Amino acid sequence: MRKRAVLGVLGLVSVLLVTSCATSIRVRHLVPSDVDVSNHRNIAIASTDMYLYPRSGMLPPWIRGYNDTFFTLNSGFNSDLNAKVAATSTAYLVDAMVNTDYFTIMPHETTDAYLTLGKSGKDAYGMLRAQGVDALLRSSITYMNSEERIVGRDIKEWVTENPDPKDPTSKVISYEKVTGRSYYLEQQATVTFTFTLIDLRTNRILATNSFTSQKSNDTYLGKTVFAKGEDSRDEYVRSYSSGFAPSLFPLYESMIREFPAKIARQLAPSWNESRVSLMKNKPKADVGPAYRLAEQGNFKQAYELFSSAWRQRSHLPSGYNAALLLEAMGEHTEALALMNQVYNRSGDPKSHTQLLRLKEVASQQDKAMKQIDGTFTSLDGEVRMTQILTME
């Protein structure tokens, strides 16, 4: 009897979990690039110019310990850091542009060779055009800064003790007591990356952008445990055994890795993915299998069941869900038409929200397709110049 009751409760819980969680499906559509460069899809990519440190811009070779600790470390800065950052930026930028499947790319090694000839008086742009190149993508690290310091932080613990055990009137108290100091190496890096896309025929700037990012990292070095009595001494515990600070390069690498994807989205159409929730089966209709099919990714079969319920009984959730399933199958025009029909018949606020979203999706999809087939028209001479700042 008890076993049956437990099974019944578990079954009820399962039903509640299933019914309380809305079914969601993945949808995706093309998003147009910020700048239309559909007539400049053969591009040459130059190596990223490295940042040139000012004379006072390099870090000292060692990091002083905090004034109450014995820790001293050699700096994580290396003299070739700027060159490594520039080379890594080049590699990430080339990969991002290749992965758009939108551009034909001239490798940076070949591009650099032509630009070197240009420095000796040759017509580098003319030679690039002769190779079928429409535009030149140049980039540079325009700012780099690093900071390193060792800091101490109090170690606090709640203790209960008698301030004066010899005094019978003294009361035991609890309070937060500083029992030691922890020491950390704080490393912070800042970098600015700039790119410019140039029309080789007119020497006009098609797009330019600047990204600035800052990240930091803490490394635990050790601690000092304060003496607990007059007869004891402070205890020094060193956890970081190396005499060299961690390299600053990983901080810079993590920042410059993020920039090329943003550049690719500015210059090439891209896919946007999201999840949308199906409307719950209220008022209830015999479409339960359709929800399970949608969860399993069988969108065509789920659509047919929902569509049938909408056509036969004007069941609002079914019409709403059928439209979203059309979107999931890439039928954006049909999805918009069906959601418009659902809203016009029902006046449902959720349907109206989705209708507005699907109109924007259809518009973006249309613009992106026109960019891909080269029929998109934009304002002549348009240049996008923005600066993006990210901090961590």
Tens of pLDDT, residues 332-376: 999 999 999 999 999 999 999 999 999 999 999 999 999 999 887
Instruction: Return the minimum-mean-pLDDT range out of 24-38, 58-72, 157-171.
Output: 58-72
- Given a cut of 70, whether residue 380 has pLDDT beyond it is no
**pLDDT category, 236, cuts 50, 70, 90?**
confident
Phi, psi of 217 (to 5 degrees): -150, 140
Average pLDDT over residues 127-146: 97
**pLDDT category, 214, cuts 50, 70, 90?**
very high
Return the pLDDT at 388: 44
- Given a cut of 70, whether residue 130 has pLDDT beyond it is yes
Among 210, 190, 87, CA closest to 143: 190
b/e sequence 321-354, b meaning 16+ C-beta within 10 Å? bbbbbbbbeeebeebbebbbbbbeeeebeebbeb
Average pLDDT over residues 99-127: 96
The domain over range 277-373 is classified in CATH as 3.90.1150.10 = no
Write down the mean pLDDT value for the chain: 88
Burial bucket for residue 361 (CB in 10 Å: 0-12, 13-18, 19+): buried
Among 220, 40, 219, 66, CA closest to 133: 40
pTM for the model stands at 0.80
Return the pLDDT at 159: 85
- In 3-state terms, what secondary structure has residue 62? strand
Return the pLDDT at 382: 47
- Given a cut of 80, whether residue 289 has pLDDT beyond it is yes
For domain 42-160+173-271, give the fold.
Answer: Rossmann fold (3.40.50)
User: Domain limits of the chain?
Assistant: 42-160+173-271, 277-373
